[in-house]
Each structure stands twice: as C-alpha cells, then as structure tokens.
Structure 1
Amino acid sequence: MSVTAYAPASTGNVSLGFDILGLALAPIDGSLLGDRVTVLNEANEFSLSLAGHFADKLPADPKENIVYDCFIGFKAAMLEQGKAIPNLAMQLEKNLPIGSGLGSSASSIVAALAVLNAYFDYPLDKETLLRLMGKLEGQISGSVHYDNVAPCYLGGLQLMVESEDKVSITLPCFDDWYWTICYSGASVSTAAARDILPKEFSTKTTIDFGRQLAVFVHALHTGDKALAASMMQDVIAEPHRKSLLKGFDDARAYAKSQGALAFGISGSGPTVFAVSENAEAAENIRAWLQANYTQNEFGFSHVCKIDNNGIAITEDK
C-alpha cells in the first residue's frame, strides 16, 4: 500500500504578523500549489525519487534532500517510543519553487512527516508532529518558526502561540476574500531576507506592530472586513525587503487601482499577494502581475482562496 500526502502552499506574515501569522492557499482553478510526498513501499535502504515541475532544482543525492532529514527525524521520534521503523522508498513531487516565499521547504517537510505518520498509523499526535516540523524547518532557515508549517499542516489562518502545550490557533477569516499571488521567478533566500532587516526596531514601530495585530485579530472575530484590511500594512519587513523585489511598487500601485484591500510580500518574497473582494478584480490583478511582475518562464500567478483543510492524505491499496 502506498500513501501520499499533499501539503498546500502558504504565505507567512500576511503583512502584519511577522513570524506569527500564516495562511494556507488553494488556487480556485483547482491546480496544485503545493508539494506531494509518497511512501511507495518498504525497502532495504532509503531511496527518494523526484518528480514535479521544480524537481531539477533539488540535489540528486537523496541524503541531501529535506525529505531524508524528515525520515531520520521521524525515525528518531519512533525510537524514543521504543519502536523501530524500516527503510522506505519515497517520492517527492516538487511543485513549489525554492526560495519563493510560498513555504516551499515547509510544504516538503509537512508532506513528508505527515505521510510518514500516516503510513505508520499515526503514532505522533498533531502537536508533537507540528513541533518536529518546526524543528526541521529551522534546519533550513536557521531558526525555528511555524508561520508556514502550521497553516500548511492545519490549514486556514494560523496565529502562532508557541506555548508549552500549543503551537498555534486557527483564527476566523473571510472565506469570500480572494488572494492573488504571483511568484516572479526569481529566488530570495530566507536568510538573505532576514539579513536585510534591522537588528532592532524603534519604539514607534514596535507599538504600531502590536496595535495592528491586536486590532486585526479583533476585526476577524467581529467580522469587520474593512477594519481588518486597514491593518494589513507591514511595518517590520516590507520597508526593507521591497528593495529585493523588482517592480514591487508598480505591482502595488496596479493592485490598488483595481480596488485591492491589501497588497504585500508573501513570506520573504519574491512572491507578492493582493487581497480582493471580488473575482473580477482578483483576475485582473493576476493577469497584470503575470505580464508585468514575472521575470522569466518560472514565474506564475494564481487567484486563490484560503485552504481550510491543510494536509491531505490519500491511500492507494
């Protein structure tokens, strides 16, 4: 029996929630915007085959792939329970570009750990698995953060709590909002995007950040769309990171001209997102971004809704 896990793309920060807000995405046309990992069968030694549009961007050696690290991490977690697991033959279908700001590494990690957990009949509970996902994500980005792995795994809009017993909580959101995303085709590493940020922020910026996040969460709970949208301005990262994104200001100007409620950088970039209240505006923005913001044949743009499901597991008997 083979088991497959699909893990959707996600946008971290959502402009106003640096490192503590994340949203899962699903294109409205039904196309896959996320990675898939399959456990094919048990084997004498670990193997990993690659597929998908961005497979050629990955190292050829399976042991240099994050999926192998996930297998080792999961195997260690099983040994802590006194259980040994066999080597496996696995496949990674890489549908998300690396360094895109769409939670590419998180998608592979979430899909890999979720499929391993499903294949071995769910020995790890959701919180334990989520913390392991964050740990593996930290190996790539240099610090443990959950703003991509949490929405990718759990779906919806997630607020990072990171208490002793809970990593994140699901916030209410507006299911009728359209999220237009566009990946330029360039690559921005999380480490480089973090290096460009100041090491310290002013008291004013800190107060603005806290106020916006508090008001935004209140607006979500009260259903006040206008108030929520008015808070979606990035005072932490965007003023510094937008210099890494060619054509950002023009893209924002066009989105706003089409009535976008908000416009910002998805995660570390270079992907950008626009929030609209109607499908026509969302599609107009998508088409313009595809024509003007993408830089090469790898760039793409989608109109999305919130993916409230997160990880999806399927079995082939």
Structure 2
Amino acid sequence: MSLTVYAPASMGNVGVGFDLLGAALAPIDGSLLGDRVSIAPAISDVSLTVVGQWAGKLPGDPKANIVFQCAQFFLSKLGRNHGIAMTLEKNLPVGSGLGSSASSVVAALFALNEYFDRPYDEQALLRLMGQFEGQISGSVHYDNVAPCYLGGMQLMLDTPSQVCDSLPIFKEWYWLVAYPGISLSTAKMRALLPEAYERSVAIDFGRYLSAFVHACYKQDAALAIEMLKDVIAEPYRADEIPGYRQASAALAELGMLTTGISGSGPTLFCVTDDLSKAQAAKAWLDGNYIQPGLGFSHICQIDSQGARRVDFEESSN
C-alpha cells in the first residue's frame, strides 16, 4: 500500500488567542497551501526524499529532517522496525508563521497512522503530534497542530479527555495571509515576550478571548472583529517584522476589518467580509510587503477538512 497525506497551513494564536487558538487555511482559488507526505513499502529501514519549492531550505541530511524523525518516533511507539520509503513535498517556508513544522509533523504522523492501520484514535494521535512538535519547539503547543490535523478554528482545552474543540466560524470572512519572504525564528520571537505581564494586560487578554469565543457562538461578526486584539505578543513582535506597522495602517485604509500577526510572524493576516477589498489588499501587499520571488499571499477561508489523504483524489484524476 502507498498513500499521500496533505496537511494545511495554519495560523497560531489568531491574534486574540495566544497559544490557545488556531485556524487552518484554505486558499479560495482551490490550491493546497501545505505540506504533503507520501509513504510506500520498502525492503528495510526508513528512507526520506525531500522535494518541493522549499526543500532547499531544509537540512541536507534526511536524518535531521523532522519527517524522518517522526517515522522513528512513531515506530518506536509501536515497538516495530519496518521498511518504509517516505517523500516530503515541502510547500511551506520554514519560520513563516504558517505552521510549517506543524504541517510536516501532522502530514507525517497522519500518514504513518493510516499506513499502519490506525493504531491511534484521533485524540491519541493529536497528543502524539503535540508531543513531537514540542520536542522541536521546546514546549507543547497545539495551536498549529490541532487545526492542521482537525481543520476549522480550534480552541485549546487541554483536559485529560480532550485536547481542543472547534469554534463556529464566520463563513463570510476572508482571511488574507501574506508571507513577506523572510524567516523568523519562533524561539527568537518568543524570547521577545516579557516573563510576566501586568494584571491589567492579563485581564484584557481574558476578556478579549472569552468575548471572541462568545461572539463566535452568537455569530456576532461585529463583536468578534472588535475583540480580535492581541495584547500578549503583537506589541513586542511588531517592530521585529519589517514593514508590519506600515502594512497594518495601509490595510486599515483599504477597509480591512483587522490585521494581526500569524503565529510568531512574519506572515500577517487581515480579515474582511468583502472579496473586492480582499483583492485590493492582496494587490497592495504584493507590491509593498512581499519581496518579489520570495514571498506570497493568498486569500483564504477556514479549511474545514484539516489533514486528509489525497492519493484517492490524485488516482481518480
């Protein structure tokens, strides 16, 4: 058996929900913005081939690649030594704020779970994804792996029985994401944040996030937009992203409802319910925020599917 899995790009934090909120992205043009991992039988051992637009930015040694390490991690959990040939199609830039490592991890572990006849159920596999992603980043955060795997907009619960749960989304919203073409270290961007916050900031964070969740369930789009404020990370990260503040001001002038940093940046996101405004904003970002030939932008909506097998689709085309 051979199979291929696709795992979509994702926004961590979604502005208002630092480490607690994440959303999967689906470009409205139908393209797939995310990594793919394929698995085929092999006589012995694990092998990895890396292809795709961003393959050259990854370590040259396959054993240093997180997909190869995922396979070792997964097989050790199963207590098995199995021959498999893996291929990673790297379609997301590293250090972009679009859940690049999460996309590779989710695609790899989802594919491995499928290949070995699903030894892990959904919640158990999600916890494995978080555990492995945590080994990379230094601590466990589900705000990229959860939406990447499950789709939708996910609120982190982290209870003994449930990692996360999906929030109702605003189907009329367009999420425009723009990657300027530079990479920023997640560890470096986290290091910019203070060790402690004033009580008033903690209260504002809780108020904005809880009110945003409330607005999602009420389907009150105006309230949700009003609450989409980042008091935890953006004040400390914005100046480290070249052109971010200028872009935010220009996007407001163009009528975008709000702008924020996707994950730890440098990708920004902005929101509108008007496709023509999204297109105008995309044109401005392409000309003023994105380095030609290095960055990209996409008008997206929330990807409701999450990670999925695509070998069925490819074989039928």
Equivalent residue for 2:91, pick from 85, 90, 95: 95
Calculate the aligned-residue CA RMSD, in Å: 1.1
Whether the 8 Å contact between 1:157 and 1:173 is mirrored in structure 2 is yes
Whether the 8 Å contact between 2:201 and 2:231 is mirrored in structure 1 is yes
Pairing 1:24-63 to 2, within 5 Å after superposition: 24-63=24-63
Whether the 8 Å contact between 1:261 and 1:274 is mirrored in structure 2 is yes
Once residues 64 and 38 of structure 1 are traced to their aligned partners in structure 2, the CA distance between those partners, rounded to angstroms, is: 18
What is the DSSP-based 3-state SS (H/G/I as helix, E as strand, rest coil) of the residue aligned with 2:73? Answer: helix
Whether the 8 Å contact between 1:11 and 1:23 is mirrored in structure 2 is yes
Q: What is the CA deviation profile of residues 224-246 of structure 1, one whole-angstrom value per residue up to 9, with x for unaligned ones?
A: 00000000111000000011111
Tell me the equivalent position of 2:155: 159
Once residues 71 and 195 of structure 1 are traced to their aligned partners in structure 2, the CA distance between those partners, rounded to angstroms, is: 30
Q: What is the CA deviation profile of residues 36-66 of structure 1, one whole-angstrom value per residue up to 9, with x for unaligned ones?
A: 0000223312110111100011112111000
Tell me the equivalent position of 2:65: 65
1:296 to partner: Cα distance: 4.6
Matched, 1:15 2:15: yes
Once residues 216 and 271 of structure 2 are traced to their aligned partners in structure 1, the CA distance between those partners, rounded to angstroms, is: 15
Once residues 146 and 43 of structure 1 are traced to their aligned partners in structure 2, the CA distance between those partners, rounded to angstroms, is: 35
Q: How many pairs are equivalent?
A: 313
Structure 1 length normalisation: TM-score?
0.97
Pairing 1:193-232 to 2, within 5 Å after superposition: 193-232=189-228
Equivalent residue for 1:117, pick from 103, 113, 116: 113
Matched AA of 2:32:
L
1:312 to partner: Cα distance: 1.2
Once residues 238 and 289 of structure 1 are traced to their aligned partners in structure 2, the CA distance between those partners, rounded to angstroms, is: 19
Once residues 93 and 315 of structure 1 are traced to their aligned partners in structure 2, the CA distance between those partners, rounded to angstroms, is: 14
1:77 to partner: Cα distance: 2.0
Tell me the equivalent position of 1:74: 74
Whether the 8 Å contact between 2:239 and 2:245 is mirrored in structure 1 is no
What is the DSSP-based 3-state SS (H/G/I as helix, E as strand, rest coil) of the residue aligned with 1:43? Answer: coil
Whether the 8 Å contact between 2:255 and 2:277 is mirrored in structure 1 is yes
Tell me the equivalent position of 2:242: 246
For structure 1, the 5+ residue unaligned runs are: none
Matched AA of 1:9:
A
Whether the 8 Å contact between 2:70 and 2:105 is mirrored in structure 1 is yes
1:315 to partner: Cα distance: 3.7
Once residues 232 and 251 of structure 2 are traced to their aligned partners in structure 1, the CA distance between those partners, rounded to angstroms, is: 21
Tell me the equivalent position of 1:295: 291
Moved more, 54-63 or 203-212: 54-63
Equivalent residue for 1:133, pick from 108, 119, 129: 129
What is the DSSP-based 3-state SS (H/G/I as helix, E as strand, rest coil) of the residue aligned with 2:42? Answer: strand
Whether the 8 Å contact between 1:69 and 1:136 is mirrored in structure 2 is no
1:9 to partner: Cα distance: 0.1
Equivalent residue for 1:279, pick from 263, 275, 278: 275
Structure 2 length normalisation: TM-score?
0.97
What is the DSSP-based 3-state SS (H/G/I as helix, E as strand, rest coil) of the residue aligned with 1:260? Answer: coil
Whether the 8 Å contact between 2:8 and 2:148 is mirrored in structure 1 is yes
Once residues 179 and 39 of structure 2 are traced to their aligned partners in structure 1, the CA distance between those partners, rounded to angstroms, is: 29
1:269 to partner: Cα distance: 0.1
Q: What is the CA deviation profile of residues 100-154 of structure 1, one whole-angstrom value per residue up to 9, with x for unaligned ones?
A: 0000000000000000001111110111111111111112211110000000000
1:85 to partner: Cα distance: 4.7
Whether the 8 Å contact between 1:73 and 1:132 is mirrored in structure 2 is no
Once residues 43 and 167 of structure 2 are traced to their aligned partners in structure 1, the CA distance between those partners, rounded to angstroms, is: 42
Whether the 8 Å contact between 1:27 and 1:305 is mirrored in structure 2 is yes
For structure 2, the 5+ residue unaligned runs are: none
Whether the 8 Å contact between 1:147 and 1:158 is mirrored in structure 2 is yes
